[in-house]
Amino acid sequence: MNRAAVIAGVGGFVPPRVVTNDELAQRLDTSDTWIRSRTGIAQRHVVEPGTTTSDLAAEAGRRALKNAGADGADLVIVATTTPDRPCPATAPTVATRIGLTDVPAYDVAAVCSGFVYALQAGTAAVTSGFAERVLVIGAESFSTILDPSDRTTSVIFGDGAGAVLLRAGEHDEPGAVRDVHLGSDGAMADLITVRGGGAEERSRGEVPRQEDRYFRMEGKSVFFAAVRRMAESSRTVLARTGWEVADVDRLVGHQANTRILHAVAEQLGLPPERAVLNIDRVGNTSAASIPLALADAMADGLLRAGDRVLLTAFGGGATWGSATLTWPDLPVG
């Protein structure tokens, strides 16, 4: 591999409407105290009716291009669990709305691991010489698939989008993606699922049931699997990179739950304060979670050029993955 994929710009976007824990407690049997103490979440952003994933993705993509000072990209990858439609993919719509017509564009479906999966695809596209600049976006309007009467999921998820622009560069320059590790286990498909709306339901010829259109999650099982798989995957990618745990300056994990991220840090032997957290402000934004956390960490001054960064995620599928990279010198704003 002669060339590396280097992060050239980062952008994040959340829809303006904020839903606080207290607002949820007005219609669900829950409380601000329970949500904060069990998840770390204080509020989340949600889309207004009529706003979709492509709206959020296009805005995050534009911001990443602006941050990079770039006039375009020659490949667009959108990781999402909430595509605008089951068919076609959302990425071509996003690319066109950003003004990138005629470029290849496709979706990646790996739920909360979606961004790490898409980052691997984008990195491979650059290092293989297929593309010079790749826009990797994670975007979700997750509120559109939540069952409003289900307190176990409604309090956790939020909407938003994050994007990074990858460009061709050198392995030893700040911003270079070093290694990516990915994994999956289809035996865990039922833990995180939307049962209806796909070929499985249609092939049975049954009348679609509204409840099957909603997102369902076995929270407790997911919790333990997420901690285990993120810790294992992190160790694997660190070993491939030749980094010790102590070398990691920032852990930017999928913002599933503050307790999950602290448990991953603890299993790795990493001080919990090295974990970047923005879940308090945005909740779990699934595929958007890591790039949104990167954008927020930049804005908060938590990422400096040369920092050694570990990304890790776990999501439906089940899927999981981790990546190592050094942080580039990027303008904030």
Among 3, 36, 38, 228, binds ligand COA (CB under 6 A): 38
Q: Is 222 in the site for ligand COA (CB under 6 A)?
A: yes
Q: Taking CB under 6 A as the rule, which mask of x and - marks residues 42-81 in contact with ligand COA?
A: ----------------------------------------
Q: Is 257 in the site for ligand COA (CB under 6 A)?
A: yes
Catalytic choice (21, 67, 257, 284): 284
DSSP letter at 102 equals T
Residue 231 sits at φ, ψ, to 5 deg, of -65, -45
Among 314, 319, 324, 326, binds ligand COA (CB under 6 A): 314
Q: Which residues are within 8 A (CB) of 239 and not within 5 positions of it... i.e. 6 or more apart?
A: none
Q: Taking CB under 6 A as the rule, which mask of x and - marks residues 128-167 in contact with ligand COA?
A: -----------------------xx--xx-----------
> Is 254 among the catalytic positions?
yes
Q: How far apart are CA 302 and CA 308, in angstroms?
A: 12
Structure-token pair, residue 143? 């509120």
Structure-token pair, residue 47? 């889309």
Q: Is 302 in the site for ligand COA (CB under 6 A)?
A: no
C-alpha dihedral sign at 24, 27, 28, 31: positive
Helices (H), the chain: 21-25, 32-39, 53-68, 91-98, 114-127, 151-154, 199-204, 219-241, 258-268, 279-282, 289-299
Residue 109, classed as helix, strand or coil, is: coil
Cβ of residue 45: shortest distance to ligand COA, in angstroms? 16
Q: How many residues are given for the chain? A: 333
Structure-token pair, residue 133? 């600049």
> Is 112 among the catalytic positions?
yes
Catalytic choice (21, 67, 112, 257): 112
Among 9, 114, 158, 315, binds ligand COA (CB under 6 A): 315
Question: How many other C-beta atoms can be found within 10 angstroms of the C-beta atom of residue 130?
Answer: 12
In this chain, which stretch among 58-66, 195-203, 221-229, 287-295 interacts with ligand COA, using CB under 6 A?
Answer: 221-229
Beta-bridged to residue 216, according to DSSP, are: 193
Q: How far apart are CA 270 and CA 129, in angstroms?
A: 36
In the region spanning residues 94 to 113, those forming contacts with ligand COA, defined by CB under 6 A, are 112
Distance of CA 105 to the CA centre of its chain: 18
Listing DSSP states for 14-40 in one string gives --S-EEEHHHHHTTSS--HHHHHHHH-
Closest CA to 158 of 289, 25, 12: 289
Nearer to ligand COA, 196 or 219 (CB): 219
Cβ of residue 66: shortest distance to ligand COA, in angstroms? 30
Question: How many other C-beta atoms can be found within 10 angstroms of the C-beta atom of residue 24?
Answer: 20
Catalytic choice (21, 67, 181, 254): 254
Q: How far apart are CA 215 and CA 41, in angstroms?
A: 19
Q: Is 219 in the site for ligand COA (CB under 6 A)?
A: yes
Cβ of residue 316: shortest distance to ligand COA, in angstroms? 7
Q: Is 220 in the site for ligand COA (CB under 6 A)?
A: yes
Nearer to ligand COA, 223 or 243 (CB): 223
Among 34, 36, 124, 213, binds ligand COA (CB under 6 A): 34
Cβ of residue 220: shortest distance to ligand COA, in angstroms? 5
Nearer to ligand COA, 72 or 272 (CB): 272
> Is 87 among the catalytic positions?
no
Q: Which residues bind ligand COA (CB under 6 A)?
A: 30, 34, 38-39, 112, 151-152, 155-156, 192, 217, 219-220, 222-223, 226, 256-257, 284, 314-315
- Give the residue numbers marked as catalytic: 112, 254, 284
